[in-house]
Amino acid sequence: MSDEAERAAAALAAGKLVILPTETVYGLAADAANAEAVARLYEAKGRPRFNPLIAHVADLAAAERVAAFDARARALAEAFWPGPLTIVAPLKDPLRVCDLARAGLDTVAVRAPAHPLARRVLEAFGRPVVAPSANRSGRPSPTTFADAVEETGAAAAMALDGGDCPVGLESTVVTVLEDVRLLRPGAVTREDLLEVVGAVAEAEGDARRSPGRLAAHYAPDAPVRIEAISAAPGEAFIGFGDVGSGDWNLSPSGDLREAAANLFRMLREADRTRPSGIAVAPVPDRGLGEAINDRLRRAAGQVG
Ligand code: TXA
Ligand code: MG
């Protein structure tokens, strides 16, 4: 019997979809070069075809076969890979990551994930794998195996259980084009990026470069109210630190890493109790708090 990473690689090579754990969130994976498989992937998620996918690769050498990395992109990859950073750079090889996967753009998003099971699948497959978060479009990303299977398991030929995702938020996305621009905050924080590249520009007002950020995202079924200090009648309350002591607290000790790891799982758990709404305590905006608040504002429909 071959091991599950090899069986997953074989399923991908046969054009099938595979639920794949990463350190950030669970992904729904397909062969990046196979347009038919990628079409089924958009279909399974209900994802608009103008929203391009991330090509996952084993390492920097594999990334540079797909994308044209300059010194800044290379420095970022060396600092943060394998890990939760996605780099958007000019496309080098249009065949390795098909047109549909890039939504026709002349740039490509690449990331080398750190999760050991994802790495074994990428090494066994030997070519880029596109993997959007395994949720149906618009919903919170799954951070547990059970949530991933509930969201898109019906479309997948295979689902790999890698346990709970330790980071819990999707990767930081930066473009490295004319300037270095932060498209999506994540676990690699703005401060982390600034230590490697001198300046980081804002994505705001640059929707063309950030196609996936146009619509509301990460939303549970119940309406979400943020920066709340208590629950209204019928509302579920998700606390942080000293604010709230109810069923869910992102981190009783006020730790932002713990809060990020818990965020989507708790939103989903609270939503399952069918509350009239979900109120969430304030989370400070420093460091990882920027990414947490970005997801919360979107869940609350306050897209900036
Ligand atoms: O942590 C993650 O990044 C997870 C795991 C599974 O790796 N994946 C993920 O994929 O979050 P997805 O498809 O949910 O988000 C990809 C983001 C979208 O906002 C998309 O618009 C952006 O990356 N993106 C992809 N290609 C791009 C490009 N060429 N230019 C600008 N943005 C791009
Ligand atoms: Mg997503």
Instruction: Kindly give the distance from the C-alpha atom of residue 109 to the centroid of ligand 1, in angstroms, as a whole number.
Output: 7
Residue 89, ligand 1, Cβ within 6 A: no
Question: CA distances (Å), 10 to each of 29, 101, 149, 159, 192, in order?
Answer: 12, 20, 20, 13, 37
Q: How far is ligand 2, taken at its centre, from the CA of residue 185, in Å?
A: 13
pLDDT digits (tens, 9 = 90+) for 100-125: 999 999 999 999 999 999 999 999 99
- Is 25's C-beta closer than 6 angstroms to any atom of ligand 1? yes
pLDDT recorded at residue 207: 47
Q: What angle do CA 158, 50, 84 make, to 5 degrees?
A: 55
Give residue 175 CA to ligand 1 midpoint distance, Å.
Answer: 11
pLDDT band at 211 (very low <50, low <70, confident <90, very high): low
- State the DSSP H helix or E strand holding residue 61, giving kind and residue range, or none if neither: helix 60-66
Residue 218: predicted pLDDT: 79
Q: Is the CB of 107 under 6 A from ligand 1?
A: yes
| Per-residue pLDDT reduced to its tens digit, 155-194 | 999 999 999 999 999 999 999 999 999 999 999 999 999 9
pTM of the model: 0.95
pLDDT in tens, 71-103: 999 999 999 999 999 999 999 999 999 999 999
By most ligand atoms within 8 Å of CB, the mutation choice from 23, 133, 137 for ligand 1 is 133
Give start-end residues of each CATH 3.90.870.10 domain in the chain: 3-209
For the chain, the average pLDDT equals 94
| Average confidence (pLDDT) over 246-260 | 94
Give the pLDDT confidence of 221-250 residue by residue, as tens digits: 999 999 999 999 999 999 999 998 768 999
CATH assignment of 3-209, given 3.90.870.10, 3.40.50.300, 1.10.1060.10, 3.30.160.20?
3.90.870.10
Sorted by sequence, the CB contacts under 8 Å of residue 76 that are 6+ apart come out as 85, 87, 174, 176, 180, 193, 196, 197
Q: Which ligand is nearest to the CA of 28?
A: 1
